[in-house]
Amino acid sequence: MRENRVKRILREGGLALGTHVGGIPDPQIVEIIGLAGFDAAFIDMEHTSFDLHDVQAMVVAAEHVGITSIVRTPGFDPAFILRLLDMGVQGIQVPHVHNAETARAAVKAVRYPPLGERGMAAGSRAAEFGRIPLVQHMEQSNREILLACMIEDMEAVERIDEIAAVEGVDLLAVGPSDLSRSLGVSGTPDHPRLVAAIDRVRKAAKKSAGARLALPLNHAAFPRNATQLKALGAGYTNCAPTPEARLLQSMREQAAEARQQLG
């Protein structure tokens, strides 16, 4: 397995920049993300129609441009996670992790023994179809696979110290939109209750078993720039919007400017 660019940045204490692939099932989007200078392509299977063939093509593209492929799964399903890892996905993000039990189960799903219970497949694409000896592949995977647990509900915030204490979790990824909904403060940027909840996650990450904080860049509910996120101790951020939103905005501006010139 290739070195995980995001995990290297985490180990160095930096802030890794990822961005959304969006809902366009084309590996060229991932190539563009890499060529633009991002560290990771965030492939969302929770809110898109992507299938495994779409994801595999994107993983190959990520490898081509030297960035980390991170897949947010539709839910927590160890069998599904195994299929993603065997095709070469370098990062798994599990949504709605409510407690330490789910976090521990996620670690078991993404790590090979003795750290977890991931099933072995010596001829998988992740093992370069058997070219890499199984023991070496297992060691590399346990070192390089990124696991992010999403903190999106007040139940998770209440149990954040227990979740953060689970060894093998690399990121505690706050979802400000769903967390705002859970707190009953949707639509109010920088609401004190949301800010306080995120601060609890920040403090838990600081004294965790090795997890770093992840927060989105310039999110509507929690607007923070890269400098501010770094000061909070974040190790990873997703930069919005999606490619579709970027493209639409650019095209609308161009069309409006042209029409203005035409009078």
DSSP labels, 165-227: TSTT--EEEE-HHHHHHHHT-TT-TT-HHHHHHHHHHHHHHHTSSS-EEE--BT-SSS---HH
Q: Express each pLDDT in 15-35 by its tens digit.
A: 999 999 999 999 999 999 999
Q: Cα separation of 263 and 261, whole Å?
A: 5
pLDDT at position 28: 98
Q: DSSP 3-state assignment of 120?
A: coil
pLDDT at position 31: 98
Q: Identify whether the C-beta of residue 41 lies closer than 8 Å to the C-beta of residue 68.
A: yes
Across 217-243, average pLDDT:
97
- So where are the chain's domains? 5-262
At 217, which amino acid appears? L
pLDDT at position 248: 97
Options 20, 47, 137, 219, the catalytic residue: 47
Across 41-62, average pLDDT:
98
pLDDT at position 252: 97
Of the candidates 79, 45, 46, the one whose C-alpha atom is nearest the C-alpha of residue 59 is 45
CATH class of 5-262: alpha beta
Complete DSSP assignment for 20-60? E-TT---HHHHHHHHHHT-SEEEEESSSS---HHHHHHHHH
Residue 263's pLDDT band, with cuts at 50, 70 and 90, is: confident
Residue 82: which H helix or E strand, with range? helix 78-86
Residue 2 has pLDDT above 90, yes or no: no
Residue 1's pLDDT band, with cuts at 50, 70 and 90, is: confident
| Whether 47 is catalytic | yes
Cis peptide before 189 (omega within 30 of 0): no
Residue 53 has pLDDT above 90, yes or no: yes
Q: What percent of the chain has pLDDT over 90?
A: 98
Which letter, b or e, does each residue of 42-59 get, where b requires 16 or more Cβ atoms within 10 Å of its Cβ? Answer: bbbbeebebeeebbbbbb
Residue 73 has pLDDT above 90, yes or no: yes
Residue 126's pLDDT band, with cuts at 50, 70 and 90, is: very high
Residue 171's pLDDT band, with cuts at 50, 70 and 90, is: very high
| Residue located via tokens 């965030």 | 42
Residue 14 has pLDDT above 80, yes or no: yes
